[in-house]
Structures are given as C-alpha cells and as structure tokens.
Structure 1
Amino acid sequence: MVVLVSRSGRHLQRYNKGRRQVVGCIPYRYKDNFDLSMADEDAFEVLLISPQRKGKGLLFPKGGWEKDETIEVAARRETIEEAGVCGDIEGKLGTWYFENKNGDTAYEGHMFPLLVNEELDLWPEKDIRERFWMSVQEARKLCQQGWMKEALEMLVSRLTSQRRRTKIDLFSRINRGSGGHGTVLCLGCRAQVLTPPPPSPAEEA
C-alpha cells in the first residue's frame, strides 16, 4: 500500500559530520519501441520533476534520510512522495558532497537507480510538482543540479555497459549456433526475437 501523505519535520533527520544526509533516485524505463540498432543511451528515458519553486529547472526526486529507515527505504519513499512512481531499487550510484546556493548548509547526497514498474495517478506532492519523462540528452540540459547530472552520467555508463555486454553475449551465442531456434533477448519492456541465419549447404551436407 502506498501512503499518500509526505513525511514532515526534521526531528528524525540524519546528519554525518554536520552534513544533512539526503537520498534520492533516478527513475528510468526502457522505451517500448527500442531495438538493438539504437544508440545505447537512446534505449531508455528518465523521469525528472519540477521543484517546489517554479522556474528553477528540473531535478530528480530526493529528500532527507531519517533515522527510522534504511537508505533504500528512504530513497523509495522520497521517489513515491515527489514523483509518484514505484519500482525496483538498484545498486547505489554514488555519494556526493555539496552545499546549497547560499553556502550555509552542507549535504551528503546518495543516489540510486529505480527501474519504474508503476506510475501512480495520485501521490503526496501531485499538487505541487509535475513529472516529465525525457531522453538522457534532454535531461542533461534541464537538470538543475550539478551533482545530479554526475549521478545521471553514472547511470548512463552503467546501463550502456550492461547493454553492450548483453549484445556481445547474445551475438556470441548466435554465432555458436542455436539449433535452428530463435534467440529471445529481454531488455526493459520489450522482448526481441533474433533468429540465426539458415545453415549453409555445406552444413546441411
């Protein structure tokens, strides 16, 4: 069950050496119509949200990590509260240290990928935020925070490396022969069937 009320207050907020600890996610999904000929980063898109103050660019969902929750639970909660999406949390992208624009508050930020499998029609901050699916290229231009852009590049590097390894392994198996059966490759939301070429006359003989 999804709780449709945001947490408020900072009495449970975690700090590390004076830095407020915040966690968030980069929600992503694979495109329905992608194929293996696409550039690797064109195979998926990411979700950004508007900030509470309009006209400040876009960002990925994030917020305070509290003492009564694990870091993964906090990342998932903030993503539901701010972006209204659910999915599978994957391995952490990294840790970043930064300050607010005034330089009077220091932060320790942790970011995770979240492979989205559900978009909620109602979520706690629906009335104060908008959400936007877009390409990686668009996200690079519109994301307002430098440390989040670095996290995005970490995600792109990870997903494209995984995709290249999958393609190499796939075609290696096809080249070794698959007994005349098609090979099914499952990537994101779509399965592609690749059928190996028919045997040559010499092989049939």
Structure 2
Amino acid sequence: MELKNMVALVSRSGRHLQRYNKGRRQVVGCIPYRYKDFVELSLVDEDAFEVLLISPQRKGKGLLFPKGGWEKDETIEDAAQRETIEEAGVQGEVECKLGTWYFENKAGDTAYEGHMFPLFVTEELDYWPEKEIRERTWMSVHEARKLCQNGWMKEALEVLVSRLTSQSKRIKGERTSSGRTTILPWGCRAQILSPPLSSSTEEA
C-alpha cells in the first residue's frame, strides 16, 4: 500500500466520551469547500466554488456532509476536523462556525444538537478510515441543494453561500479606496496582493 497521503485507518468508535447537552447528543460537522480556479475574490458568487458531499453508511437516497459525535477529550474544532478526515478523507482549515441546529432522527427517539463549520480544503487524502464504505463527490452548490438529504445541512450550506458571497461584495466595495486586489487560487488561502510599484522613481 502506498504510504503517501495516509492517516490512521481507524475511526473512533463507542460513545463513552460522547457529549450531551440537556439530553441532546452533540454532533459536529463540516462543509468542505474549494474554489474552482483562480478567481478575483470581489467577483465570487456561488458558481465559483464547489462543496464535497459523501454517501451515507446505510445506502439510500441522497448525500450528506461529514459529521459525527463531539467527544469530551477534544475541542469542537478538533472534532469537526477529525470527522471530516474519517468520513471524507480531506483536511484543511476549520473556519468560523456556521450555526447550531436542533433535530431528531427519523424514528423520533433521539434528539441532537448539531454544530456546522466550513472547512477550506487544502489536501485530499488517498486513504482514510471510511474509504471502503463511503464515496465522496465534489459538486456545485446547485447540485448539493438537490442531493443533500438533511434539511438542517442544507440550511448550513445557505449560511456558507451567504457568507462567501457577502464577503465578496464587501471586498468589491473596498477596492476603490484600498487600491489592492484579492486573488484566491484553488486550494490556497486568500492572498492580498499589493498593486505593482510605478516604474517612475522618486527621491526619499
């Protein structure tokens, strides 16, 4: 087996460290995303980036974003990163939380408190703990809206879209006064690039 891009091929199991809040099981998830190409951040709309969805363990209709239990020996951000590596085989930067949702399972006998984060993907792993039981698929926001099976995850996706596109509008409004351009390459964090120096020279 090739050792490149490998992580420990074992998922956490058991619920003896599981966190609960007022009887609700606390779960944490991520929306992994990346930009399609070199784009100017002031021009970003929802067509400029893709999100990563995975198949559920129990085969059925729809896809979902990676998520799982938040345990007592880890921070909420660490839990979000861990679940994303275990289920989707990607890692990157966990960004500011999108929100908290309250929901129940289909049987109505288990209540959950779900926390969702964006994860800006910087690396896709060749091997990960649930590679044999899940498929991962990059897709547009439009496709994700149709295929994601959980309503609360769709709401989290809309929060992410609103955040990224409103950030774009804010930067567009600031460009005139700052004279700086923001370039966001696929797979890299945003970089603020100063305009080139004038070819003329001035004495200090």
Tell me, yes or no, whether TM beats 0.5: yes
What does residue range 4-153 of structure 1 map to in structure 2 within 5 Å?
4-34=9-39, 40-153=45-158
The yes-or-no answer on 1:185 pairing with 2:182 is: yes
Give, in whole Å, the separation in 2 of the partners of 1:121 and 1:113. 21
Equivalent residue pairs, number? 188
State the 1:56 CA deviation: 2.5
State the 1:194 CA deviation: 11
1:29–1:46 contact (8 Å) kept in structure 2 = yes
State the 1:170 CA deviation: 2.0
State the 1:186 CA deviation: 1.7
2:39–2:185 contact (8 Å) kept in structure 1 = no
Structure 2 SS opposite 1:59: coil
Q: Please give the TM-score of this superposition, normalised by the length of structure 2.
A: 0.84
Identity of aligned residues (%): 78
Give, in whole Å, the separation in 1 of the partners of 2:86 and 2:79. 10
Of stretches 29-38 and 165-174 in structure 1, the one that deviates more from structure 2 is 29-38
State the 1:34 CA deviation: 4.1
User: Which of 1 and 2 has greater Rg?
Assistant: 1
2:200 matched to which residue of 1? none
Q: Please give the TM-score of this superposition, normalised by the length of structure 1.
A: 0.84
1:98–1:108 contact (8 Å) kept in structure 2 = yes
Using CA pairs below 8 Å that are at least 6 residues apart, which structure has the higher relative contact order? 2
What does residue range 145-184 of structure 1 map to in structure 2 within 5 Å?
145-174=150-179, 184=181
Contiguous gaps of at least 5 residues in structure 1: 175-182, 197-205
State the 1:130 CA deviation: 0.5
Structure 1 SS opposite 2:120: strand
Give, in whole Å, the separation in 2 of the partners of 1:62 and 1:141. 19
Structure 2 SS opposite 1:167: helix
- Flag the 1:192–1:95 CA change in 2: closer, same or farther, 3 A: closer
1:116-159 per-position Cα deviation (integer Å, ceiling 9, x unaligned):
00000000000000001111111000000000000001101111
1:89–1:112 contact (8 Å) kept in structure 2 = yes
Aligned AA for 2:48?
A
Give, in whole Å, the separation in 2 of the partners of 1:19 and 1:146. 18
